[in-house]
Amino acid sequence: MKGLNTKKVIITGAASGIGRATAQRFYQEGSEIILIDMPPIEETELKAMFPERMTYIQGNVTNKDDLAKIQTEMDKGFDVLINNAGITRDATIAKMTDDQWDSVIAVNLTAVWKLSQMAATKLKELGKGGVILNAASVVAHYGNFGQSNYVATKAGVIGMTKTLAKELGKSGIRVNAVAPGFIGTPMVRAMPEKVIQMMEEKSPLKRMGEPEEIAAAYAFLASDDAKFISGTCLNVDGALVIG
Ligand SMILES: NC(=O)c1ccc[n+]([C@@H]2O[C@H](COP(=O)([O-])OP(=O)(O)OC[C@H]3O[C@@H](n4cnc5c(N)ncnc54)[C@H](O)[C@@H]3O)[C@@H](O)[C@H]2O)c1
């Protein structure tokens, strides 16, 4: 896609699922990729997948020292930040612990805000515009049983995205969110076959999505083909949520 071969792209949560597929897509497009995730690189397949144009930062996006490592990398210059890392800690409101609430808020919302702040500051300084993309979810639009913490973060991410688009537009920085539906990452594929079938039946396209289909949305929104798109949340869900 237009312009991606000249871009340096930072992706959080890149060792698994959607993040890994996104790294793969940008790599294929010729981008330089900076990947962030928690396992040591030896425990991932990333080295073999990306023999060149790849830097791995082992770190936790909620940890101050690790954020400092990411800042050092940002200081070398970059074009795109994709806030993909996310977690679930499901429980109904009656059973949810403070820890379950706090940990999901820390990764899915506070870290997205902090990394966006770091990125915006640096991109403004570099003065050549840039792109920030955030992982939302379709559950932000309609709620989900047992996920008050997760849904609150994803709805928060959409609001933050719109606000940052307004604040950063004059610096040529575009900010968008992607809201995946039911996507066949390892976590989802491990669910009971009955649940998967039920979810597929609910979808007008009668299937779950693939991580590569979310990666494609990130690639489009980061590319120069999307240079007039900012402040939006793109649902990539096979029409699971309409309206
Ligand atoms: N899979 C789906 O159906 C789906 C649907 C809607 C939204 N999403 C969102 O897409 C994103 C990716 O989801 P996925 O299904 O690929 O998940 P995944 O669990 O397969 O991958 C998430 C990655 O993020 C990393 N990560 C988690 N916490 C981190 C932290 N504190 N610091 C650094 N890295 C961290 C994990 O180690 C993992 O590699 C998430 O934000 C998720 O909420 C996924």
Measured CA angle at 145 (ends 144, 150), to 5 deg? 55
pLDDT over 90 at 85, yes or no: yes
Neighbours of 133 (CB within 10 A): 24
Residue of 25, 34, 37 to mutate, ligand 1, most atoms within 8 A of C-beta: 37
pLDDT over 70 at 243, yes or no: no
Q: How far is the CA of 170 from the centre of ligand 1 (A)?
A: 31
**What average pLDDT does this structure show over 171-177?**
99
Predicted local confidence at residue 217, as pLDDT:
99
pLDDT digits (tens, 9 = 90+) for 184-207: 998 788 888 998 999 899 999 999
Both structure tokens of 174: 């575009």
**What average pLDDT does this structure show over 90-114?**
98
4 lines ligand 1 (CB under 6 A): no
Ligand 1 nearest atom to the CA of residue 21, by list position: 16
Domains of the chain: 4-183+211-236 (3.40.50.720)
**What average pLDDT does this structure show over 215-225?**
99
Mean pLDDT of the chain: 97
pTM recorded for the entire structure = 0.98
Encode burial over 121-132: b for 16+ CB neighbours within 10 A, e otherwise: ebbeeeeeebbb
CA distances, 48 to each of 51, 82, 157, 213 (Å): 6, 22, 33, 22
Which one, of 126, 150, 115, lies nearest residue 78 by Cα?
A: 126
Which of 85-99, 101-115, 125-139, 180-194 shows the lowest mean pLDDT across its residues?
180-194
Both structure tokens of 99: 């820890």
Which of 25-39, 98-112, 195-209 shows the lowest mean pLDDT across its residues?
195-209
Report DSSP letters for 124-151, one per residue.
HHHTS-EEEEEE--THHHH--TTBHHHH
- CB of 237 closer than 8 Å to CB of 180: yes
13 lines ligand 1 (CB under 6 A): yes
pLDDT over 90 at 156, yes or no: yes
pLDDT over 90 at 130, yes or no: yes
87 lines ligand 1 (CB under 6 A): yes
